[in-house]
Amino acid sequence: MNSGIDLEMSFTQGVQNLGLSHELAHLLWIPLPMLLVLVSAVIGVLVTVWLERKISAAAQQRIGPEYAGALGILQPMADGLKLLVKEDIIPAKADSVLFTVGPILVLVPVILSWLIVPFGQNLLISNVGIGIFLWIALSSIQPIGLLMSGYSSNNKYSLLGGLRAAAQSISYEIPLALAVLAIVMMSNSLSTVDIVEQQNTAGFLSWNIWRQPVGFIIFWICALAECERLPFDLPEAEEELVAGYQTEYAGMKFALFYLAGYINLVLSALLVSVLYLGGWGFPISIDWFSSLIGLSIDNPLVQIIAASLGIVMTILKAYLLVFLAILLRWTTPRVRIDQLLDLGWKFLLPISLVNLLVTASLKLAFPMTFGG
């Protein structure tokens, strides 16, 4: 396997040539990818909000945002600016400390999870060994933030919304983790980079979606439920609970929830593309393609083209899934709370257990195709 472009090494070497120590160069490098990912996450949210407005308008035969920039493309910026300058209200009888910490606890784990999303061979913040497990662990912190904001608002709708959100995310975390476990079993590694590499041996035919069709559907349903997207947006069901745990929030604190929701959606789409759709892999194998035009894979030009193609492919796949999620939101009705819990515990959990068992036996029977 070629190592691809290693930006970190070139950066640290460049700084060291200026006469700084190796440790200091590393220290200077650390904030750069974090900043980049933070910026790209926020831009991803802006794009998703715009898409949501436009697609919902199309689904309801409206025009949608039109005046802010061409095709209303600056509308999300205007929304963000509006939320930024709004008054920050804390209800008189609310618990002000918990009320403030709640939204932060919801947002921070989501952003931290971007640590493991790979856009290329070396284009991720940190290739930690526990990889995808880190995401599962971090996403389990979120319900605490939701409970905290639901409780501290001192509002019965908020409390009910918070309890519902926590119950929902606990029950859908288990099938989600089991679906991921089947993938991990096939690629013999928790690291997202290894998972993608194992899928890119023969173009799109080796993507995990063909070997794990059931797991793909389970993961997608659970990811939608974890993001509280519409078939499962019980926690903020407008007709029943005003706005759930967000009822009392305004201004920037509300914006934190809003951001967390959309960042989580983009993150889930990215992870679906990493786990099931070959991540940065092009549908046709790059190795094969470069040998066709007679260039070595180590050629700098090929490397640069492959890296940019990888980023484009990851984002393209993720946004196709975001499009699907938005379309689902504006075309499906909401499930009831008992249907939601039934689906999670009585349907998805047994199916994902069976899926895991079948994957394990297939791995034993056909070690070549299912990663022995």
Partner 1 sequence: MNIAYSTELICFLILSSVIVSGSLAVVLLENIVYSAFLLGGVFMAVAGLYLLLNASFVAAAQILVYVGAVNVLILFAIMLVNKKEKLKPIDGLKTRKLISGGVCGGLLILLLRVSITTDWNIPGPTSIGEEATERIGEHLFTDYLLPFELASILLLMAMIGAIVLARRDVSITNDNINDLTNQKSLSDKKIRLLSENSLK
- Decide if residue 134 touches partner 1 (CB under 8 A): yes
Residue 86's region, left for phi above 0, alpha for psi from -120 to 50, else beta, is: beta
Structure tokens given for 167: 């119950």
Contact flag: residue 94 with partner 1 (CB under 8 A): no
Query: If binding is defined by CB under 8 A, does position 133 make contact with partner 1?
Result: yes
The runs of H, that is alpha helices, within 60-155 are 75-85, 96-112, 131-139, 142-152
Q: How many residues bind partner 1 (CB under 8 A)?
A: 28
Minimum CB–partner distance for residue 129 and partner 1 (Å)? 3
Q: CB burial class (10 A; 0-12, 13-18, 19+) of residue 142?
A: buried
Of 256, 275, 225, residue with least CA distance to 116? 275
**Among 23, 87, 239, 338, which residue interacts with partner 1 (rule: CB under 8 A)?**
23
Residue 248 CB, shortest distance to partner 1, in Å, is 16
The token duo for 303 is: 């490397």
Q: Is 125 in the site for partner 1 (CB under 8 A)?
A: no
Least Å from the CB of residue 142 to partner 1: 9
Q: Which of 20, 34, 136, 297 binds partner 1 (CB under 8 A)?
A: 136
Candidate residues 130, 284, 312, 364; the one interacting with partner 1 per rule CB under 8 A: 130
- Residues of span 146-165 touching partner 1 by CB under 8 A: 147-148, 150-151, 159, 162-163
In the complex, minimum distance from the CB of residue 51 to partner 1, in angstroms, rounded to a whole number: 31
Compute CA 238 distance to the chain's CA centroid, rounded to the nearest angstrom: 25
**Can residue 107 be called a binding residue for partner 1 (CB under 8 A)?**
no
User: Which residues, at least 6 apart from 142, have a Cβ–Cβ distance to it below 8 Å?
Assistant: 105, 106, 109, 110, 169, 260
Phi/psi at 61 (5° precision): 55, 45
Q: How far is CA 289 from CA 5, 21, 195, 308, 358, in A?
A: 18, 41, 22, 15, 35
* x-or-dash string of contact with partner 1, 183-202, rule CB under 8 A: -------x------------
- Closest distance of CB 159 from partner 1, Å: 7
Check if the beta carbon of residue 183 is closer than 8 Å to that of residue 219: no
Residue numbers at the binding site for partner 1 (CB under 8 A): 23-24, 27, 98, 128-130, 133-134, 136-138, 140-141, 143-144, 147-148, 150-151, 159, 162-163, 166-167, 170, 173, 190
